[in-house]
Amino acid sequence: AGDARAQARNAQSLEELEALLAGFDGCPLKFTAKNLVFADGNPASKLMFVGEAPGADEDRVGKPFMGRSGQLLDRMMAAIGLDRTNAYVTNIVPWRPPGNRNPTPQEVAICRPFIERQIELADPDLIVCLGSPATQTLTGTKDGILKARGRFYPYRVGDREIRALATLHPAYLLRQPVQKRLAWRDFRTLRAALDGKA
């Protein structure tokens, strides 16, 4: 991971970071995935959504949140006036784990310098962590997602602090639709934060 961190720091733009990841052989997930899934949306946006890992649809297309979870995410975003022209979307792990298993803690740790550099280079004012792995990886909290959701955590980049709002992952909401009301509260909190009211 030390090697990954040194490499990630070398990237001076998101384009360079993507090219660097495409040539990075330190994560075993790369060798079973079809495509690198780097990002979608507008990198100039001040708002960044971070999910967990690509699934089959994302692996095929090479972009995050393309399948059913992505369609739900798009609807949730649309409900508060957002889409991928005014937000930037990515994951903590840029390759699909085989069979859609969860990425292992080791795989997450290997990829972590890259998502950290991606955040640094995209320079958002607000991050939305979708689900527990993104929330715990980025904020360091041990809180479970049902406790963490709706809360802002500080995300530190150098001497800057970015607010990171935790919410439920759309894949979880597809399995537990009754929980959508909680996500809806979080998205209202997000809207208020974007409007400078939270």
Return residues touching ligand URA (CB under 6 A).
Answer: 51-55, 58, 64-65, 69-70, 91, 171
CB closer to ligand URA out of 5 and 71: 71
Q: 171 or 173: whose CB is closer to ligand URA?
A: 171
Minimum distance from CB of 108 to ligand URA (Å)? 12
Compute the least distance from the CB of residue 59 to ligand URA, in Å: 9
Residue 14 CB, nearest approach to ligand URA (Å)? 17
Closest CA to 66 of 136, 198, 151, 170: 170
Q: For residue 40, count other CB atoms closer than 10 A to its CB.
A: 20
Q: Which CB sits closer to ligand URA, 61 or 157?
A: 61
Work out how close the CB of 159 gets to ligand URA at its nearest, in angstroms, rounded to a whole number: 30
Interacting residues of 35 by C-beta distance below 8 A, sequence separation 6+: 59, 60, 61, 62
Q: Which is nearer to ligand URA, 41 or 150 (CB)?
A: 41
d(CA 189, CA 61): 31
Integer-rounded Cα radius of gyration of the chain: 16
Tokens of 21: 């990841």
Quote the CA–CA distance of 155 and 30 in Å, as a whole number.
27
